[in-house]
Amino acid sequence: MITIISKWTILLFGSFIIFIGFTMLFAPKRARATLRKAGSTNFINYAEITIRLIPAAALILYADFSKFPLAFKIFGWLMGITSFVLYFVPRKTHHNFSMKSADMLKPIYFQLISPFAFLFGGLIIFNVIGL
């Protein structure tokens, strides 16, 4: 049962990354505004961090069933550890970092890097379902 839940969580995560790619490509100002909100309130900060832990755990739990188990384990642990560390980073520091990042990333840059989101989301899905 855990395997099935993990699989579907990963598929949703890959689809979400692809959706973010479309947002970056067709609505880069909206993507930038969303980035600016990271860590802006306690609720957003801790919800964002906690939600990141869900696909991280799924990647780790499903790794042995994927095409590239080591990649899933490393990525899952990396996501999990960085999420856990963010619990101890002051919210204002997290928010200031997202604001500075949004200032540096002009809308055209979001459009330029959007293909990487498509590729990354597609690789995640491919690693689960294959062809």
pLDDT tens digits, one per residue of 47-105 = 999 999 999 999 999 999 999 999 999 999 999 999 999 999 999 999 999 999 999 99
128 vs 77: CA distance, rounded Å: 17
Token representation of residue 2: 């855990």
Q: What is the 3-state secondary structure (H, E, C) of the chain?
A: CHHHHHHHHHHHHHHHHHHHHHHHHHCHHHHHHHHHHCCCCHHHHHHHHHHHHHHHHHHHHHHHHCCCHHHHHHHHHHHHHHHHHHCCCCHHHHHHHHHHHHHHCCHHHHHHHHHHHHHHHHHHHHHHHCC
Check residue 16 and give its pLDDT: 97
Residue environment code for 24-39, b if the CB has 16+ CB neighbours within 10 A, otherwise e = bbeebeebbeebeebb
pLDDT digits (tens, 9 = 90+) for 29-51: 999 999 999 989 999 999 999 99
The arithmetic mean of pLDDT across residues 105-117, rounded, is 96
Domain definitions of the chain by residue range: 2-129
Check residue 51 and give its pLDDT: 96
Model confidence at 131, pLDDT cuts 50, 70, 90, reads: low
